[in-house]
Amino acid sequence: MKLTIREIAKMAGVSPATVSKVINQTGRISPNTIQKVKRIIEETGYQPSFSAKTLTTKKSNMIGLIYAGELNVEFNHPFFNHVINSFKNTIGLLGYDILVFSNQAINIGEVDYIARASHYQLDGCLIIAGEDIGDSITKLDESNIPTVGVDLELSGEQSSYVMTDNKKVSKQVVEYFYLHGIRKVAFLAGQEKSQVSNERRESFVQSMKEFGMDVDDNWIKYGNYFEESGYEKMKEILQEDSRPDAVFAVSDMMALGAMRAIKEAGLSVPKDIKVVGCDDIEACRYSDPSLATVKQDQIKIGKLAATMLHDLISERKVPKSLLVDPELIIRDSCKVGADFSGRS
Amino acid sequence: MKLTIREIAKMAGVSPATVSKVINQTGRISPNTIQKVKRIIEETGYQPSFSAKTLTTKKSNMIGLIYAGELNVEFNHPFFNHVINSFKNTIGLLGYDILVFSNQAINIGEVDYIARASHYQLDGCLIIAGEDIGDSITKLDESNIPTVGVDLELSGEQSSYVMTDNKKVSKQVVEYFYLHGIRKVAFLAGQEKSQVSNERRESFVQSMKEFGMDVDDNWIKYGNYFEESGYEKMKEILQEDSRPDAVFAVSDMMALGAMRAIKEAGLSVPKDIKVVGCDDIEACRYSDPSLATVKQDQIKIGKLAATMLHDLISERKVPKSLLVDPELIIRDSCKVGADFSGRS
DNA sequence: CTCAAAAAGGTAAACGATTACAAAACAGAA
DNA sequence: TTCTGTTTTGTAATCGTTTACCTTTTTGAG
């Protein structure tokens, strides 16, 4: 059933080597022979064996996709799935397919990504930052496998990373609040270990100071990016003596959770408290009120990651990191005074 | 750097064959040797080469993931990504990794899935129904490659499929309306070619008749599952002479679009028109009003698909199809009269 | 017409596993 | 001790490519 290169060679009346050269466009072959061989390949629908090819060339044309978290939610993560999708489309154009590690398979103990990668002879890996950056990620970073991180600072020789310019994220939000006379702002962070969350928090604090606004430590709470944690932490904040005029959350889901808590406390968004999230997930547009957010350019991030990884694999010069500009999207949840044109 | 089985054999003082047998637990090896070999493997972190193994065994332990649509949105599809995720987790436990076809790579002309599958020597494929079932999907279905379809009826010798019991979907909704005195119901369908949409539409019509309710052909509109089409089609419906009391859409996104159209027309959901969607995507909970929906058990669908595919690959007996029960989730958008406990 | 250089094509050895099959080692019985 | 039968281990071919290197053919200048 399945044809080998030898049989194709026989049919075309040439040697296997010639067929191989035609397929890979290496070596000098006469136009005549090329035609002949191509026709046979066409007619038979011959497909070279991936494993044989990989075995000899040591190149698999496969990229490993790793989600660095325990929750195994990469595909329904409302932010990352856009990045993954865009990455997939771009890297596909460059001739790679994507292998998704099903971490569960070896979930007893740490997953050894290097072993997995070398087992499959992957050309490179894409790491999407999740809640938890384990040891095995670090090892992969330090290995000589080309690796690109999204929202995750990598430092290895063969590593680069792309992320939104988190400094600008917080700054834009704080600036907006400042310009609209809002001075008391709470901050809902992600896990204490999360790099992204920490950058935003730090630049939040710094921006606040730059604009001469006070930062109340009680108003900085750590959650885990998900809705429930936003709800819980907001409740805690509301129990304090004084109330913030606004909340900025590191994820839309936490922001949505916060809105729920605020409404439950009998307060109104945005009249009593403005809310701004991060990511611009689908739900922002359908929430009540619609949720203001800082949009990350996920398409661009995915594209850049793909391009960088390809360059890394091709041993071209690649910048250590690329920062993508965020965009503040105003929606009802942060409308102020006259700006606020109610809603049914 | 990378060790081969031969070197491991040398280190352990045995033959490569013995090492292979230890790894794969085939053949009779003395406990003593097993210990020795295992220790070396442990110490060296040896990983057998995937391609060499695949080359000889003709088994890759990889599953191809295909999204049967042109939109390339599999990873941010608000319904399928849950299925994919659950599938991934289950199939991972069974020892498979997932290869995602980056259709773009060969997007000139039809993608030849069979060629791709045989190129990689995939053990099987999972097909997620998208907007468009092309010829190449049909060919794959008819091939002898084990294949499981989600929301897609496959008929091939080596194929099975899983989907929500769409008859029950429509019936539950119609029944709910019937019980609450609503008689005039519009229906927002997907593409005319979409199997899922058609099943729901047909059983909608049938259920309506069973409950003695009239079906107005002008109130059945075809869209494409996405928000915009729900909006457009609902607008068309509202331009008719008489107005329905309720709309049932084949997707939540279309339902959200419909709500937008209804509000724009100055009408209220649910007071003037009730709305029910399908899928229970995240946004349902955050929309205004929250959107009632028929939830599909995506986790279960993913699990079943994985199990079936594994059985198919292992040449065990597998049912041709499996139907999963849906669940009607009542939310504000379909609350009736006294039931309706308003919202700010 | 000769001959060197360039072009075209072929040979055979990898790559790193698996697996029939053969061989060796061992046990116990006679 | 010898022999038979069972366990254990090893040998070598195989899977389907690629590629270094070699051979043959072609080309065209002198």
For the segment A157-205, what is each residue's pLDDT rounded down to a tens digit? 999 999 999 999 999 999 999 999 999 999 999 999 888 899 999 999 9
Chain B residue closest to A1 (CA)? B118
- Mean pLDDT, chain A, as a whole number? 88
CA of A119: nearest nucleotide by C1' is C16
Q: Which of B121, B268, B282 sits opposite A51 (nearest CB)?
A: B121
B111, B136 contact by CB (below 8 A): yes
Q: Is B100 on the interface with A (CB under 8 A)?
A: yes
> What are the chain B neighbours of A65 within 8 Å (beta carbons)?
100
| Whether the bond into A270 is cis, omega within 30 of 0 | yes
**Nearest chain B residue to A116, by CA:** B47
Distance from CA of A82 to the nearest CA of B (A): 6
What is the C-alpha to C-alpha distance for residues A176 and A275, in angstroms, rounded to an integer?
Answer: 12
* pLDDT digits 0-9 by tens, B126-147: 998 876 667 888 888 888 899 9
Q: Is the dihedral of CA B258, B261, B263, B265 positive or negative?
A: negative
B16 preceded by cis ω (within 30°)? no
Find out whether B68 and B133 touch, Cβ atoms under 8 Å. Answer: yes
- B290 SS3 class: coil
Q: Is B104–A119 a contact, with Cβ atoms under 8 angstroms apart? A: no
Could you tell me if B84 lies within 8 Å of chain A, comparing CB atoms? Answer: yes
Q: Which residue has the tokens 């369908």?
A: B189
Determine the distance from the C-alpha atom of residue B13 to the mean position of all C-alpha atoms in its chain, rounded to a whole number.
50
Which bases along strand D come within 7 Å of a protein CB atom? Answer: 7-12, 14-21
Helix B16-24 and helix B5-12: axis angle, to 10°? 100
- Give the residue from chain B lying closest to A90, CA to CA: B104
**Cα of A214 to nearest chain B Cα, Å:** 32
Is A119 in contact with B47 (Cβ distance < 8 A)?
yes
Beta-strand relationship, B97-100 and A97-100? antiparallel
DSSP state of B40: H
Terminal-residue alpha carbon distance, chain B? 66
Task: Read off the pTM.
Answer: 0.83
Contact between A288 and B283 using a beta-carbon 8 Å cutoff: no
Q: How many CB atoms lie within 10 A of CB A47?
A: 17
Among protein residues, the one whose C-alpha sits closest to the C1' atom of C15 is A56
- Give me the residue label for tokens 């001075």: A183
Contact A82/B at CB under 8 A: yes
What three-state secondary structure class fits B187? strand
What would the mean pLDDT of A285-314 be, rounded to a whole number? 93
Output the six-digit token pair for B314.
Answer: 């292992």
Q: Is A234 helix (H, G, I), strand (E, B) or coil?
A: helix
Nucleotide with C1' nearest the A12 CA? C9
pLDDT band at A103 (very low <50, low <70, confident <90, very high): low
Q: How far is B93 from chain A (nearest CA, A)?
A: 5
How far is Cα B332 from Cα B273, in angstroms, rounded to an integer? Answer: 12
Angstrom distance, B37 CA to C11 C1': 38
* Under 8 Å between Cβ of A178 and A220: no
For residue B293, give both structure tokens. Answer: 């929906």
Interface test with B, best of A50, A150, A260, A272 (most B CBs within 10 A): A50
The identity of residue A50, as a single letter, is: F
Closest-CA distance, A211 to chain B, in angstroms, reads 33
Q: Give the single-character DSSP code of A288.
A: S
Residue with tokens 């003037």: B272
For B133-156, b/e burial (b = at least 16 CB within 10 A) is beebbeebbbbebbbbbbbbbbeb
**Six-digit token string for A263:** 């409404």
Cα B53 from Cα B100, distance rounded (Å): 21
Query: Amino acid letter at B45?
Result: G
Q: Is the separation of the CB atoms in B257 and B230 below 8 Å?
A: yes
Chain B residues closer than 8 Å to A111 by CB: none
What CATH code is assigned to A62-163+298-324? 3.40.50.2300
Tell me what the mean pLDDT of segment A19-48 comes to: 90
Q: Is B339 exposed, middle or buried (0-12, 13-18, 19+ CB in 10 A)?
A: exposed
Q: What is the pLDDT of residue B76?
A: 62
Tell me if chain A has a CB within 8 Å of the CB of B310: no
Distance CA B105, CA B117 (A): 15
pLDDT given at position A259: 95
CA distance B113 to B127: 11
Beta strand B147-150 with B124-129: parallel, antiparallel or unpaired?
Answer: parallel
Cross-strand partners of B127: B66, B149
pLDDT given for residue B131 in this prediction: 62
* DSSP at A256: H
In this prediction, residue A281 has a pLDDT band, given cuts at 50, 70 and 90, of confident
Q: Does A144 touch chain B (CB under 8 A)?
A: no
To 5 degrees, how large is the angle CA B148–CA B325–CA A73?
60
Q: What is the per-residue pLDDT for A156?
A: 93
DSSP 8-state symbol, B34: H
| Element housing A327 (H / E) | strand A327-329
Q: Torsion over CA of A229, A234, A237 and A242, rounded to 10 degrees?
A: 170
CA distance A98 to A65: 7
Whether CB of A16 is under 7 Å from strand C: the answer is: yes
- Cα B122 from Cα B52, distance rounded (Å): 15
DSSP at A272:
T
Distance CA B197, CA B223 (A): 10
Please tell me the distance from the alpha carbon of residue B263 to that of residue A5, in angstroms, as a whole number: 64
Cα distance between residue A3 and residue A8, in whole Å: 7
**pLDDT for the residue B93:** 87
Q: Do B100 and A97 touch (CB under 8 A)?
A: yes
B55 CA vs C18 C1’ separation (Å): 9
Task: Point out the residue among A91, A97, A103 whose CB comes nearest to the CB of B92.
Answer: A103
Which CATH architecture is the domain B166-296+328-339 placed in?
3-Layer(aba) Sandwich (3.40)
**B92 to chain A, minimum CA–CA distance in Å?**
5
* Four-residue CA torsion sign, B80, B85, B89, B94: positive
Mean of the per-residue pLDDT values for chain B? 88
**Which of A68-77, A262-271, B260-269 shows the lowest per-residue confidence on average (mean pLDDT)?**
A68-77
Query: B317: how many CB neighbours lie within 10 A of its CB?
Result: 6
Using the beta-carbon criterion (under 8 Å), do A263 and B344 form an inter-chain contact?
A: yes
DSSP state of B111: -
Residues of B within 8 A of A62 (CB-CB) are 99
Chain A CB within 8 Å of residue B282 CB:
yes
Q: A115 vs B45: CB contact, 8 Å cut-off?
A: yes
Q: Max Cα separation, chain B?
A: 88
Which pair of structure tokens corresponds to residue A79? 């932010």
- Nearest of A135, A165, A160 to residue A148 by alpha carbon: A160
Each residue of B311-321: pLDDT tens digit? 999 989 999 99
User: How far off is chain A from B226, nearest CA to CA, in Å?
Assistant: 12
Phi, psi of B275 (to 5 degrees): -130, 135
pLDDT beneath 50, residues of chain B? 105-109, 340-344
Structure tokens at A289: 């009120």
Sheet holding B321-324, edge to edge: A321-324, A159-164, A147-150, A124-129, A62-68, A97-100, B97-100, B62-68, B124-129, B147-150, B159-164, B321-324
Q: Which among B97, B121, B256 has the least Cβ separation from residue A102?
A: B97
Chain B interface mutation, best of A54, A75, A293, highest count of B Cβ atoms under 10 Å: A75
Q: Burial level of B283, CB count in 10 A (0-12/13-18/19+)? A: buried
DSSP code, position A49:
-
In whole angstroms, what is the distance from residue A36 CA to residue A14 CA?
Answer: 10
The amino acid occupying position B120 is Y
Between the CA of A74 and the C1' of C8, what is the distance in angstroms? 52
How large a percentage of chain A has pLDDT more than 70?
91
Of B79 and A328, the one with more pLDDT: A328
Residues 6 or more apart whose Cβ sits within 8 Å of residue B274: B177, B182, B245, B246, B247, B292, B333, B334, B335, B336
Which residues in chain B have Cβ-Cβ distances shorter than 8 Å to A48? 119
Of B72, B101, B120, Cβ closest to residue A50: B120
Query: Of all residues in chain B, what percent are helix, strand and coil, respectively (each to 5)?
Result: 45, 15, 40
Q: Do A81 and B84 touch (CB under 8 A)?
A: no
Q: How far apart are CA B254 and CA B277, in angstroms?
A: 7
Q: Is the per-residue pLDDT at A342 higher than 80? A: no
